[in-house]
Homo-oligomer: A and B are copies of this chain.
Amino acid sequence: MADDLSMKTIAKQVGLSPATVSRVFHSPHLVSLKTRDKVMNAVRESGYIYNAAAKDFSSKKSTVIGVLVPTADALFGNTLCGIQNVTMGIGYSTIQGVTNYDLETEQKLLRQFQERRVAGIIMTGLVTGQEKLIESLADSGLPIVIVWEKLTDSRFNFVGFDNKNGGKIATEYLISLGHRRIGMLVGPFTKVSRVKKRLDGYLEALRENNIEPDDSLIMERLPRYIEGAEAMAGLLSLDNPPTAVFAASDALAVGAMHEVHQRGLRVPNDISIIGFDDADVAAFLNPPLTTIRVDAYKLGVIAAETIVGLAKGEILDPRHYTLGTDLIVRKSCAAYPGQPR
């Protein structure tokens, strides 16, 4: 109702100019203590609420940042929480969008972000085919940080994990258990680079242990439960199925485990499965999932700090963060029967 309150109203009320009232909010050190108190009292009494939208507009400095996630699941949710926890404290808001790995949706949302004149964009799960779009955005001076990914082009800011090493560790763990026929469930690596890196790690581990990679053991799927199940079905129908599989995301691992159980087989007795991400649910599965942990929350924190620094002009050069990964051993992997350990 009394929402037509503005700084001008307050100014009139206390007999000051709007400029002074404005200064009370955005640079109080320029205002005498006495005046500040007078203004704040009037603000409290009238119930005036600062208009951040008007501020963004008039100062030509946006304080909203756009965030793109591929799926609205708990994993990216953690990154979102990390982002929120830094932005909330400093008066920034986030406008978000879920792409569902769909290029058109991604473009639409990006466009929307531009129209909103966001201060910057945090992109997770980039679809590589989009790189030209990102480039053009970045070239226009819009701060962009890519999260979860490591781009080849170092002009961009990104904060991600050592995916290759993670993939290698996972595979080596399986090998150390005596497995030599190891399948891999992997996201669309032709499009998403982080996932390509995990595959690279897998291949490297194989090579270093003198295991010939077998293309028929590599299944390329979107990281969704159902696709993990389908991929695992493919693997299990092989003449010579793997004795262990490395799923490049826990979502795929969950689907894979489900398929194994559906067929009356057991994890890890009949087949070992290791995941990637350490999704919240991983520890609570049956059996609890052995996986590669990744600190999604921290990713969000760093991304947010970076984008804000960039937006404020405090950061000038491209930033590249690479976080480590940890092997979390639980119960979904066992030694290869022929070679106990």
Contact = CB atoms under 8 A, between A and B. Distances in A.
Contacts of A225: 280-281, 283-284
B84 A78 contact: no
A149 to B, nearest CB: 20
A256 to B, nearest CB: 9
A294 interface: no
A285 B280 CA distance: 14
Interface string A249-260: 000001101100
Contacts of A135: none
Contacts of A94: 95-96
A152 interface: no
Interface stretch (A7-15, A47-55, A308-316): A47-55
Interface string A49-66: 111111011000010100
A30 interface: no
Interface stretch (A113-121, A160-168, A213-221): A113-121
Given A77-B77, A284-B229, A53 B56 contact: yes
Interface residues of A, number: 58
Given A109-B88, A140-B1, A52 B116 contact: yes
Given A72-B74, A73-B74, A96-B96, A286 B286 contact: yes
A288 B262 CA distance: 10
A275 interface: no
A112 B98 contact: no
Contacts of A117: 51-54
B115 A52 contact: yes
Interface string A274-301: 0000001101111110000000000000
A187 interface: no
Contacts of A64: 95, 116
A286 to B, nearest CB: 4
Contact of A73 (B52, B77, B91, B108): B77
11 contacts: A49-B111, A49-B114, A53-B53, A77-B98, A93-B112, A225-B283, A255-B284, A257-B284, A258-B283, A261-B286, A281-B281
Given A50-B115, A53-B115, A80-B96, 6 more contacts: A1-B139, A71-B77, A72-B72, A94-B96, A95-B95, A257-B284
5 nearest interchain CB pairs? A72-B77, A52-B115, A258-B284, A73-B74, A286-B286
